[in-house]
Amino acid sequence: MLYTGKGDNGTTSAFGCDQRFSKSSAIAEALGTLDEINSFLGVVKMNVRASEILVPGTTSTVANEMDKVQQNLFTVQAEIAGADKHIEHEKVAELETVINTIEMELPPIKSFFISGGTELAAILDFSRTLARRAERRVVGVADEGEVAVGKDTLAYLNRLSSLLYALARHVNHKSGITEESPKYQ
């Protein structure tokens, strides 16, 4: 059944958890925001799947990388919900390797850039902002101390937004689009 009616009073529980908590709590906010970025990465995946864009220096497609990230975000959600699941350091290192490989093919960053270029780059950049919001919400849960959040989980979420930014830049670069810096008028 898709509904139970148990949340009609403004409380919820995490999957497999008997405790109820407010839907406005830091935990509920973090879980909801992680769900938001995870589902939006499905949109990213469907947009890149059609073009089969490869991650530079690898035989992996961007769609494959998005699938890995989505799987890892479920681990983060489980951790925030109180399960004995954690992001391991190797997952952080994997993101760093992909980011570093992409960056080697791009011009150095000298300023902020206006989002856009190609539609896919704009979608990737939007997903970066969702990842940053999810990171802030998870940091909020860690700051409250109700759930122990691993340092590798926090690092993973921080690298995720960097990965999405690097991919947005990569997509524009492959399309021959020059990044536009803000004019601060």
Judged against a pLDDT cut of 70, whether residue 1 lies above it is answered with: no
Higher pLDDT, 8 or 120: 120
List all residues 6 or more positions away from 68 whose beta carbon is below 8 Å from its beta carbon: 94
Stretch 102-118: mean pLDDT: 83
pLDDT of residue 19: 66
Lowest mean pLDDT among 131-145, 150-164, 168-182: 168-182
In this prediction, residue 147 carries a pLDDT of 86
Q: What is the pLDDT of residue 108?
A: 83
For 156, phi and psi rounded to 5 degrees? -60, -45
Closest to 87 (Cα-Cα) out of 77, 75, 105, 98 = 75
**Is 90 exceeded by the pLDDT of residue 140?**
yes
Computed over every residue of the chain, the mean pLDDT equals 86
Supply the pLDDT for residue 135. 97
pLDDT in the model for residue 183: 83
Tens-place pLDDT, residues 44-68: 988 886 666 767 777 678 888 899 9
CATH T-level fold of 23-174: Hypothetical Protein Ta1238; Chain: A; (1.20.1200)
151 pLDDT more than 70:
yes
The residue among 169, 61, 158 whose CA lies nearest residue 111 is 169
Residue ranges covered by each domain of the chain = 23-174
Residues 66 and 153: their CA atoms lie apart, in Å, by 17
Q: What is the pLDDT of residues 22-44, one digit of tens each?
A: 555 788 899 999 999 999 999 99
Query: What is the rounded CA–CA span in Å between residue 66 and residue 120?
Result: 13
Of all residues in the chain, the percent with pLDDT exceeding 90 is 54
Q: Point out which residues pair with 39 in neighbouring strands.
A: none
- Predicted confidence at residue 21, as pLDDT, reads 61
Q: What is the pLDDT of residue 96?
A: 96
The pLDDT value given to residue 178: 85
Tokens 């021959």 -> residue: 176
Radius of gyration of the chain (CA): 18
